[in-house]
A and B are shown apart, each in its own frame.
Chain A
Amino acid sequence: MLFSLSLSISPTTLTSSPRFKFHSCPHVLPPTPKPPPPRLRASSQAHHVILHDNGTVAGAGAPVEENILPAGLRRESMPRHVALVMDGNRRWARIRGLPVGSGYEAGVRSLRSVVELCCKLGIRVLSVFAFSSENWFRPQAEVEFLMELFERGMRDEMGSLLRENIRISVIGDSSKLSRSLQELITRTEETTKTNCGLQLIVAVSYSGQYDIVQACQKIALKVKDGLIEPNDINESLIKQELETNCTEFPYPDLLIRTSGELRISNFLLWQLAYTELFFAQSLWPDFGEVEFLEALQAFQQRQRRYGGRDF
């Protein structure tokens, strides 16, 4: 039997005040309205994020108080690092008779909503597989559209990133990206590097095998330069050279892939050694709060033994 963990949870929500402005796109039909999720129980205390004068946020990355977590989720079992394979944008567009670009733009909206959720739930790191090394083989027009979408998104969301105290890191083989995009990435990473809220790692022109190979190349140089011997090479050394060394928590606790595809597709291979995998049936543009909370709840029910202790 195919697994896709569909657990029913009592519908809850977080406060809904969209932080990100939505791009208008003439090609996108308004999404089918979902029924408004019921509100959370009112808590006796108001929980605020305090913005200091110097722009840092008090308690950023600190846990959200227990009584405003959606029902069924436990603070102590919240994953620190969630990874996403955002699959299904093109299928979503095809089903609606829309151009492929509309699917990607709808996907961007989904991403915004998940980023917002992660901020509120106190998840520390969110990695997203935006563009894989293999995606370069897609039709040229589609690749150009994606690059432009990425560039536009990064430029336009700078304000939101700063307000939400989000740190951006981009991993992948940036040599294949346009110069303007490379510069934008450098600027964005630089501008947000002191933010201490959610760290959003965007994998562009990335693959897990590429990451391991580039780590090995750096290690090979060190061997060649006599800094280390081949038998000094260990897991810790490789971990330090992987591109996920930009974060304190490089190994995802949970990987979510949408659209029902049951594969990793060359994303974060080394880092996924003990990651819980969750395969959602929804297409990425349809993946929202309910689906994300479902994934988190499924994660919290898993027993992680790491090959060791008894169940």
Chain B
Amino acid sequence: MKVFLGDLVLIQGSIMKKDDRSRINCIFENFVTFLRKCTFCVLSVGPIPEHIAYIMDGNRRYAKKQNLIEGTGHRVGFLALMSMLKYCYEMGVRYVTIYAFSIDNFKRRPEEVQSLMDLMQEKIEGLMEEESIVNRYGVRVHFLGNLKLLSEPVRLAAERAMVATANNSKAVLSICVAYNSTNEIVHAVEKACEEKWEEISLLNASGSGYGLIGLECIEKDEGENLIKLIDIEKHMYVSVAPDPDILIRTSGETRLSNFLLWQSAYCYLYSTPVLWPEIGFRHLLWAILNFQRNHFYLEKKRKQL
């Protein structure tokens, strides 16, 4: 059993000093990283997904399972997230989207919500530090959702993070917070209608609306010409990234829970029974292998058509 106690590590009853631990850990990490990169080379013979989305489920169950105090599950979950991001960016996955906090999660107990908000603020501020993963891999961070629902400190931290990483261009991390898909679609429709309405008003005001006046007389096509799929899509929060190739949900649940409903129309849905804080490299590897197998099958199917 390994227990981290500040700078000391208790390994199977013997205590090692910090320096020895650092050296051994460093060698071990380098070796593991080398093996991982070899694995990615092999994997890259097949298609690598451009965009992976994660529903990070199972933090509370993990805490209960490990007899941890409430909230610790999410902290361990954050560490798991950092690892998964590292693996994704090393592999060449350009876009990662995570379901950090749903609008539905506001229904939880106020203490739990507050604790999650505090954790988020702490970790967002951590992302801005120089040695953080976003700077190491050149990741631009977006916070997507109805941010007005967040408390001011969290919202401000999120806005600062977006500004601070705006020039990063190697990869994108979309953190969905105060988000759900139906809310996103409503927002997109509202914006699309406002935009169209402004366009029509401007054209009418400038006297060049004759084409649209003509349009008003054509009852049948009226609706179709007003709003198109593309008008809605461009106002989606998640339009900063292409549609996900894989959507991974942990903890064994097999549902979307109002996440990326529009964008996951053709996405490969992968559910794994592992709890989010326990997710590791092998789970991602397995998900990618299955994605690749399915991708080949779909290509074959398309050719048969």
Contact = CB atoms under 8 A, between A and B. Distances in A.
Interface in A252-276: 261-266, 269-270, 272-276
A111 interface: no
Contact of B224 (A217, A219, A274, A276): A217
A308 B254 contact: no
Given A216-B189, A272-B256, A275-B255, A223 B197 contact: yes
Contacts of B222: 221
Interface stretch (A117-125, A197-205, A230-238): A230-238
Contact of B60 (A275, A277, A311): A311
Given A3-B272, A273-B257, A307-B258, A231 B186 contact: no
Contacts of B261: 208, 269-270, 272-273
Given A230-B194, A263-B269, A1 B189 contact: no
- CB-CB nearest 4 A-B residue pairs: A307-B104, A217-B223, A308-B107, A266-B265
Interface string A290-311: 0000000000001110111111
B170 to A, nearest CB: 29
Given A235-B183, A272-B256, A217 B190 contact: no
Contacts of A261: 294
Given A264-B265, A274-B258, 6 more contacts: A221-B226, A269-B261, A273-B257, A275-B255, A277-B255, A307-B105
Contacts of A209: 229, 262, 265
A212 B61 CA distance: 35
Interface in A16-64: none
Contacts of B200: 224
Interface of A: 1-3, 5, 137-139, 207-209, 212-214, 216-221, 223-224, 230-231, 233-235, 238, 261-266, 269-270, 272-279, 302-304, 306-311
Interface of B: 60-61, 64, 102-105, 107-108, 180-183, 185-186, 189-194, 196-197, 200, 222-224, 226-229, 232, 252-258, 261-262, 264-273, 286, 290, 294, 305
B181 A273 contact: yes
A275 to B, nearest CB: 6
B107 A216 contact: no
A308 B103 CA distance: 10
Nearest to B251: A311
Nearest to B216: A224
A207 B253 CA distance: 25
11 contacts: A1-B272, A1-B286, A213-B228, A220-B226, A223-B193, A261-B294, A264-B267, A269-B265, A302-B254, A303-B253, A304-B255
Given A216-B227, A220-B223, A302-B253, A269 B190 contact: no
Contacts of B186: 233-235, 238
Nearest to A271: B261
Contacts of A272: 256, 261
User: Which interface residue of B255, B258, B267, B290 has the most chain A CB atoms within 10 A?
Assistant: B255
B290 to A, nearest CB: 6
Contacts of B228: 213
A233 B189 contact: yes
B255 A216 contact: no
A308 B104 contact: yes
A309 B181 CA distance: 20
A276 to B, nearest CB: 5
A139 B223 contact: no
A27 to B, nearest CB: 19
A275 B185 CA distance: 18
Contacts of A278: 254
Contacts of A220: 192-193, 196, 223, 226-227
A264 B260 CA distance: 12
A139 B303 CA distance: 12
A310 B294 contact: no
Contact of B105 (A2, A264, A266, A308): A308
B149 to A, nearest CB: 14
A263 B196 CA distance: 33
Given A209-B229, A307-B105, A269 B272 contact: no
Contacts of B192: 216, 220
User: Which interface residue of A233, A309, A310, A311 has the most chain B CB atoms within 10 A?
Assistant: A233
A262 B294 contact: yes
Given A223-B197, A263-B268, A273-B258, A213 B102 contact: no
B260 to A, nearest CB: 10
A169 B289 CA distance: 40
A264 B227 contact: no
Contacts of B102: 307
B104 A306 contact: yes
Contacts of A311: 60-61, 64
Contacts of B264: 264, 269
B216 to A, nearest CB: 8
Given A233-B193, A308-B104, A212 B254 contact: no
